[in-house]
Amino acid sequence: MGILEGKVAIVTGGGQGIGEGVVYALCHEGAKVVNIGRTLSKIERVVENIKKDGCDALAVQCDISDRAQVDAAIAKTVETYGKIDIIANNAMTQTMGGIEDCTEENMLYDYKNNVLGTFNCVKACLPYLKETKGRIINFASGSGTHGTPGMISYATSKEAIRGMTKVLAIELSKYEINVNCIVPTGNSPAWEATKAKYPDRIDKMLEGYLIRRPNQGLGDPETDIGGVVVFLASRYSQYMTGRTLFADGGKSFFR
């Protein structure tokens, strides 16, 4: 039996990269997982893979920036599994551009998908999390905590999520709901594309990581990032709330 046996978890953006790893990690610890994402083929592929391991999972297409779609996805979750114990708000968009290039539309786009998307999911899940004294796990970014140039809209939206996490932790403590945040650095299709595009810059990009993975890889989405999600979803973190955990290979120590 896994440490999440009997729990029902929702993962947003679980069609690839870190989100996919989080789905696998939760399922392998016994949770039933609802994989929510905009691209049905991606989330279905992940669910089909995890079912081969004997896990129970469901794919639900949903754009989390649309509250009506979120409400429908949550209703489908409860209809299928009867409750919600965990919500991992991983889904995000990432618009590139510094202050001189960034437009109001860029700012609003990342805010709508990242901040309002997280808000929509928390709001829709809240009645059920109150019943289970559940866990909310949000995702921020080193782009915000470190201040990465050229990513102003994305970094700003991700820091807003950290602020939301702190407020939620205080407001929802009366329901015994724990709310925490992860700043991850994990291998993903985006990272692989970056390595392919800038092979001469890889060593420079990896400077500051105290922990490195073979073949110029970053953290493993399932074991390195998903493992932290499992910890925050489990009884082992029951005395933690309002915190930001850095699963970034030690890079945060350099800023």
Sign of the Cα torsion 173, 178, 183, 188 reads negative
Tell me whether residue 232 is in a domain: yes
Catalytic residues: 154
29-40 pLDDT, tens per residue? 999 999 999 999
Whether 213 is in a domain gets the answer no
Task: Using a pLDDT cut of 90, give the percent of the chain over it.
Answer: 78
* Average per-residue pLDDT for the chain: 94
Render pLDDT for 210-250 as a digit per residue (tens, 0 to 9).
887 777 778 999 999 999 999 999 999 999 999 999 999 88
pLDDT 10s digits, 122-154: 999 999 999 999 999 999 998 899 888 899 999
- Does 39 fall in a domain? yes
pLDDT digits (tens, 9 = 90+) for 69-91: 999 999 999 999 999 999 999 99
Inter-CA distances, 124 with 67, 107, 129, Å? 8, 24, 10
Residue whose C-alpha is closest to residue 31's, from 14, 12, 10:
10
144 in a structural domain: yes
Which domain CATH number covers 226?
A: 3.40.50.720
CB neighbour list of residue 41: distance below 8 Å, 6 or more residues apart = none
Is residue 210 a part of any domain in this protein?
A: no
Q: How far apart are the C-alpha atoms of 60 and 44, rounded to whole Å?
A: 8
Q: Is residue 200 part of a domain?
A: no
0.85 surpassed by pTM: yes
**Residue 91 counted as domain residue:** yes
What is the count of structural domains for the chain?
Answer: 1
Name the pLDDT band for 253 (thresholds 50, 70, 90). low
Q: Which domain holds residue 43?
A: 8-188+218-249
Quote the pLDDT of residue 148.
85
